[in-house]
Amino acid sequence: MLCTGVIPIVFLFILIYFVLIFLVLEIAVTLLIISGLDKEVARFQAVSMLTATGFTTKESELIARHPIRRKIAIFLILFGVFSLAVMIASISTILTKDLRIVQLIIITCLFGIVLFVVKTKSFNSKMSGEFHHKLKKEYELHELPFQEILYLNEGDLFTSVKIDEESPYVNRKMEEVFIADKDILLLFVRRGEEKIRRERMKLVIQAKDELYVYGSNAVIDNKFHTEIAKMMAKKQDEEEIKALE
């Protein structure tokens, strides 16, 4: 039977272990945010990598295609796997009364100090500059993630807009819809299986065209509010149907 004094020590060890996991997670999330990733996306992907749950969302491409974020991801995956093995082994050690609580507390405190440093504004500013400098210095433009090139500001957006039969833009010329002095660009048009780039501005918009646009989020939403709302509603309906199956 286990000694009554051992059980509290096991719980203490598990508590310290979870504090350590939290610190590592926060450090990784902060570094991902510094690299330009959205806070919520950074946290979700960091948890996914640390727990090795393997969520394969489109957002994961923001990690896989970014050289710096890839290194953070590798560390998180390896740390998650090895730390679990270490925890199991350590609990077994505790049960044999060869305690390692002090060493774990020291390691946890060190990670706490690292997190404090990473959270400072000076570190954030310096590392942000370093990250962008490294990308520009070591990688060609075509090697960088697509989002890194286009998402220059928080208010920028790249999206596709599907035109249906009821859209007011049907039978209108592209050059009438995409005015030069507005903060919105038409990159290309998908019409059936064809992608049209070179002559895109000379096209007359047809139903079922898919416009790939880039520019101000507010301008895009204002111009294609109805189309985007229909797309979102359709997507939500499809997800609900899929959930019921």
Tokens 């989020």 locate to 217
Query: Model's pTM, two decimal places?
Result: 0.50
Separation between Cα atoms, residue 37 and residue 147, nearest integer Å = 10
89 to each of 67, 96, 102, how far by Cα in Å?
33, 11, 16
Q: Range with the lowest mean pLDDT among 145-159, 183-197, 202-216?
A: 145-159
Which tens digits make up the pLDDT trace of 9-59? 667 777 888 888 889 899 888 888 887 777 888 888 888 888 877 665 666
| pLDDT value of position 88 | 67
